[in-house]
Amino acid sequence: MDQKLYDSYVKILKNELVPALGCTEPIAIAYAAAKAGVESLTRSIAAQYGRQGLRCNCVVPGLVLNVQTEKMMEKMPQMAEAFAAMDRQALLEPGHGSGMDVAEAVGFLVSDASRWMTGESLVIDGGTISHNPTWADVAGI
């Protein structure tokens, strides 16, 4: 990643994205902790109530294109450029995911096809975290 793009990414992360998430650390530690908490809660609910027939799974989507992300990128073109650079480095599947990709995964989880699946986190991110698990890695920090 070239220095100008990196500086732009760090500026966006520190000044715009991180405060919007309610985090104070540039690598969004609070956001990551919250996501880990949801995954842990998912496993706990599955363990606590599984014998009563309740299944609990969660979906972990990557960045998907939708009305909100498109508006965000229109308002902050430097963020769109930073995300494009991250996509080139991190995505294993071509293009962005969509809300329909996430909906299909949720449909699977509520169907009988996943009847023997509980306490799991289903990652839908185009393969990003399978080889590049952190924002720091993507940004080259």
Q: Output the DSSP codes for 63-128.
A: -EE-HHHHHHHHH-HHHHHHHHHHHHHH-SSSS-EEHHHHHHHHHHHHSGGGTT--S-EEEESTTH
Active-site amino acid positions: 31
How far is it, in rounded angstroms, from Cα 118 to Cα 113? 12
Ramachandran bin of 127, using left for φ above 0, alpha for ψ from -120 to 50, beta for the remaining angles? left
The answer on pLDDT for 93 being more than 90 is no
pLDDT at 14: 46
Q: What pLDDT does residue 15 have?
A: 46
Rounded distance between C-alpha atoms, residue 11 and residue 108, angstroms: 39
pTM (2 d.p.) = 0.67
Say yes or no to pLDDT of 86 above 90.
no
- What pLDDT digit, counting tens, does each position of 26-83 carry? 556 777 788 889 999 999 999 999 999 999 999 988 878 788 878 877 887 777 777 7
